[in-house]
Amino acid sequence: MKVDDKLLKRSLNAAIDFSVKKKEGFSEKVRKFDETIDFIINLKDINLKDPKSRIDKELILPNDVIAKDSPNICVIASDEILLEAKRINVDTLDADSLAGLDREEKKDKKKFVKKYDFFIVEDKLMRDVARYLARFLGPVGKMPKPFPTGYGIISSVEDLKNAFERYKKIIRIQVKKHPIVQVKVGKKSMEIDKIFENIKAIVDYIADLMPHKYNNFKSMFIKTTMGKSIKIDEVFLKNIGV
């Protein structure tokens, strides 16, 4: 059964409302940072032992999922692409630094990979990235992918500019070991309609990948970083007075 838009929006409003800590007799406590909003889908009736049932995709959402100006990316490139990456103020790595990283301790390589959400690599350096970092990028799903499964491998300055704007809206969706999708859909400071549009896009996208569409959805939840987990369910919302 297709997910009801009104129920989805009510649940989102509830998640935001319950992100404020409330206690009778005390003033409401608002968090001092811009909380991330997570969206979770628990799936059912899929066989993850079958590689065809697993998901490892990058999805461009209708709206940004970050509130700051720059996505958390590292650009590995040379020449003009490297200069452009520095100009737009993102972290970079050139060929020499990449080779130098290979001489670092294993723990330092893991720390480097963990630091960034995404990596954008110039195509001619992809072989070196695979050689030096694949064993660290692969297990956490951060290995740059070419179009159409991803947007992490580029060949020109124009490609970099396009990728930079895309990665403000891109999320990584992975369903491998467990039948669950958990992704960031925005920040609490964002317009609620834009967050809703992002959630709706994910719901429809995941359903389209499933063998039985929306019938493969077991349950869904929305929560802010520090807030109550809100189940997208009429009975649940009624029980919490929404």
In whole angstroms, what is the distance from residue 63 CA to residue 50 CA?
33
Where along the chain do its domains lie? Answer: 5-65+170-239, 73-166
| Element holding 74 (H helix, E strand) | strand 73-76
The 10s digit of each residue's pLDDT in 218-241 is 999 999 998 899 999 999 999 999
Same fold for the pair 5-65+170-239 and 73-166: no
Q: What is the DSSP string of 139-168?
A: GGT-S---TTT-S-EE-SHHHHHHHHHHTT
The residue count of the chain comes to 242
% of the chain at pLDDT higher than 90: 78
> How does pLDDT run across 85-141, given as a tens digit for each residue?
999 999 999 999 999 998 999 999 999 999 999 999 999 999 999 999 999 999 888
Residue 149: what pLDDT?
Answer: 76
Which of 35, 13, 69 has the alpha carbon at shortest distance from 189? 35
pLDDT of residue 210: 95
Residue 1 predicted with pLDDT over 70: no
pTM of the model: 0.86
* Residue among 218, 173, 225 at smallest CA distance from 199: 173
Q: Output the pLDDT for position 34.
A: 86
Of 3.30.2020.30, 3.40.190.10, 3.30.70.1350, 3.30.190.20, the CATH number of 5-65+170-239 is 3.30.190.20
Give the CATH number of domain 73-166: 3.40.50.790
State the pLDDT at residue 24. 52
The amino acid at residue 69 is D
